[in-house]
Amino acid sequence: MAITTDRGDRARSPAANQFDDTWREMHSKLRRRARLLCKGDPYKADDLLSDTALKVHLYMLRSPERVKNLAGFFFLVLNHAFLDHTRRCGREDRVIEHGGEWEDDFTAAVPDHAPPAEQQLALKQQLIRMERAVATLTPQQRALFALRFEEDLPYPQIAAVLGISETLARKRVELLRKKLRKKLD
């Protein structure tokens, strides 16, 4: 938002002067805050500071009259820029596999997280034994098993569904666990 004078020079607007003065005055405090937010990483802190300066500058170009405390506004924008950066990194980490090996055909190598074959066989056998043990339960015990271990309901909700007290629900689940352990051993 520059003002052109009669000579064709570009004079600075009052908002630009205010921005420069406040930036010079607050720069060291903003840098300390940015380093604190970035856990001491000077490169990330500098990126955060430049992002903050750009956002404040663009805002001041559009509506300088809305900013009453420019120093405080710098800190507010710094915090928001940090939150934006953190959210963006979180989204990228969920979508992009960092450090993955790339093959010649540019497809990501998928790591094999499956347990070894022996462990898979042991897990399948244990699951079969568990299914047999659950099949021997009474209908009430199977309902309790489903509520607690399949639906993962908390004890107050189990008690409400069964129409019993929470203490009794806890005790019944404890007895059910003991019964299943005994059958599995």
Q: How many CB atoms lie within 10 A of CB 38?
A: 18
The separation between CA 51 and the C-alpha centre of its own chain, rounded to angstroms, equals 21
What fold is seen in the domain 117-184? Answer: Arc Repressor Mutant, subunit A (1.10.10)
Average pLDDT, the chain: 82
Give the pLDDT of residue 159: 93
pLDDT digits (tens, 9 = 90+) for 73-107: 888 888 888 888 888 877 766 666 655 555 545 55
CA angle 175, 166, 136 (to 5 degrees): 30
Write down the pLDDT at residue 11.
65
Give the pLDDT confidence score for residue 51 in this predicted structure.
Answer: 87
pLDDT at residue 120, rounded to an integer: 87
Among 57, 54, 50, 52, which Cα is nearest to 13's? 57
Structural element, H or E, at residue 170: helix 166-184
- pLDDT per position as a tens digit, 117-170: 888 888 888 889 888 888 999 999 999 998 988 888 899 999 999 999 999 999
Q: Where are the beta strands (DSSP E) in the chain?
A: 3-4, 10-11
Long-range contacts of 108-111 (CB under 8 A, 24+ apart): none
Give yes or no for a contact between 165 and 158, defined as CB atoms under 8 angstroms apart.
Answer: no
pTM: 0.44
Average pLDDT over residues 33-48: 87
Point out the least confidently predicted range of 15-29, 50-64, 90-104, 116-130: 90-104
Rounded to whole angstroms, the Cα distance separating 150 from 125 reads 19
Cα end-to-end span (Å), the chain: 79
Is the pLDDT score of 28 beyond 60?
yes
40 or 96, higher pLDDT: 40
Long-range contacts of 81-86 (CB under 8 A, 24+ apart): 81/48, 81/51, 81/52, 81/55, 82/34, 82/37, 82/38, 82/48, 85/44, 85/47, 85/48, 85/51
